[in-house]
A = this chain, B = another copy of it.
Amino acid sequence: MPFVRAIARSAYARGARFVDPFYFDGAVKRTRLELADPETLEFVPSWYGGRYLGLGEHRGARISVQPNPEPAVLDGVDPTRAGRDGLPFVPEIFAVINDRSTNWTVVANPTEGWARAIRPELEPAEALARLEADIVDVCRLDEPDPDAAWQRRADELEAASDKLNDRRFDALHYEGPGTDLTLGLLPTSHWTAARATTAFDISYFANVPTEEVWTAPDPARADGVVRSTKPLDVEGALVRGLVVRFEGGRVVAIDADENAEALRGRVAVDEGAARLGEVALVDRNGRIGRRGTVFLNTLLDENAASHIALGNAYASSVAEEDQPRLNTSAIHIDFMIGGDDVAVTGITREGDRVPVLRDGDWQL
């Protein structure tokens, strides 16, 4: 609440017309999953998506404050039920991302509940202080000019994406402990990093922090097995020890030490939910992976390691001619598959193998 109020004050001071604070209460979601008729769990009021479409019409700026809900708020809830309720995510979020009508960003608010979930062994005040220090570090707030530091890092990441775009790989091959996965890219799959631009030419960072270089893969080509290298928070349910097997681009098996059902439920919501919509490479020079904290939140953890996402692709990832081939879905769930011990190799159209990441360093 103080965090949101500070954002509102800053926005009004910079000339915002209206600030619409929207709070999603994970505790009420938990109650719903425990008590409501299971047949109703997919219901979403029309005005939840309407808010995003309205923001698009107004060319509004969107700031998503994470974690929301706090991690593990759904721990112990029947994961089959949890899989049916994807809130606070709604598919209209993709509509306003893909039409580039809103400039948006995702930021981290260190809360006590989040700090406790990350470091349950510490006193609450100590856990919060550690989380705050983590966020200062990974957001580069200790730099004399954090904005300038981010512009420099964006230059580095965009240089890496330029090199990947020059290569036009046909596929990527991941090899590491428990992982042997090959996934195809589309002819026009375009690697992007850091800065994005609205349809009306506002430049912005969609995530802070951001350490990834990403594009959309070919949803028809993914084969092999991949072991997640970090726990994954699926709308409040924590999936640990995740292993996913793909055949012909499609998920054919999901296993996990905990809460596999929560992900299985989300992956069953539509045809595209079992296919890939994003592939992202992360080098070892970002601050998140180096710090080693497992944040139990996708914003931060996905930027610690190379990852892939099940579900919807971002339209801006490919040229016009490949748009019909992009994956579409009501979900978009990133999970981490990279690390220093996972080698990433590019495969050219001619079948040549070119090292891309070794020990977390770019090889291009």
Pull 17 A–B residue pairs with CB atoms less than 8 Å apart, ordered by A.
A4-B25, A5-B25, A5-B31, A8-B25, A12-B31, A12-B34, A15-B37, A16-B36, A17-B43, A18-B36, A18-B43, A20-B45, A21-B25, A23-B23, A46-B50, A47-B47, A50-B50
Point out the residues of chain B lying under 8 angstroms from A25, CB to CB: 1, 4-5, 8, 21
A13-51, CB under 8 A of B: which get 1 and which 0?
101111111010101100110111100100111110011
Residues of A within 8 A of B (CB): 1, 4-5, 8-9, 12-13, 15-21, 23, 25, 27-28, 31-32, 34-37, 40, 43-47, 50-51, 54, 58
CB contacts (< 8 Å) of A18 on chain B: these are: 32, 36, 40, 43-45
Find chain B residues with CB under 8 A from A36 CB. Answer: 12, 16-18
**Residue pair B28, A21 in contact (C-beta under 8 Å):** yes
Q: B12 contacts A35, CB within 8 Å?
A: yes
A31 and B9 contact, CB distance less than 8 A:
yes
The docked-state distance in angstroms from the alpha carbon of A16 to that of B4 is 30
Query: How many copies of this chain are found per oligomer?
Result: 2
Given A28-B5, A28-B21, A32-B12, A47:B45 Cβ within 8 A: no
3 closest Cβ pairs, A-B complex: A12-B35, A8-B28, A47-B51
A27 proximity list for chain B (CB < 8 A): 5
Q: Which residues of B contact A58 (CB under 8 A)?
A: 45
Set B4, B21, B23, B54: member contacting A46, Cβ < 8 A: B54
Question: Contacts of A8 on B, CB cut-off 8 Å?
Answer: 25, 28, 31-32
Q: Please, how many angstroms separate the alpha-carbon atoms of A32 and B12 in the complex?
A: 6
- A34 / chain B contacts, CB cutoff of 8 Å: 12
Minimum CB distance partner of A52 in chain B: B47
Give the residue name and chain of the B residue nearest to A19 (CB): B28
Besides A5-B31, A17-B40, A20-B45, 18 more A-B contacts (Cβ < 8 Å) are A1-B25, A4-B28, A5-B25, A8-B28, A9-B31, A12-B36, A17-B36, A17-B37, A17-B43, A18-B36, A18-B44, A18-B45, A19-B28, A21-B23, A45-B51, A45-B54, A47-B47, A47-B54
Q: Which residue of B lies closest to A51 (CB)?
A: B47
Question: How close is A28's CB to chain B, nearest CB, in angstroms?
Answer: 4
A35 and B47 contact, Cβ closer than 8 Å, known pairs A19-B28, A28-B21, A40-B18: no
Name the residue of chain B whose CB is nearest to the CB of A2.
B27
| Interchain CA distance A31-B4 in the complex, whole Å | 12
CA A32 – CA B13 in complex, angstroms? 9
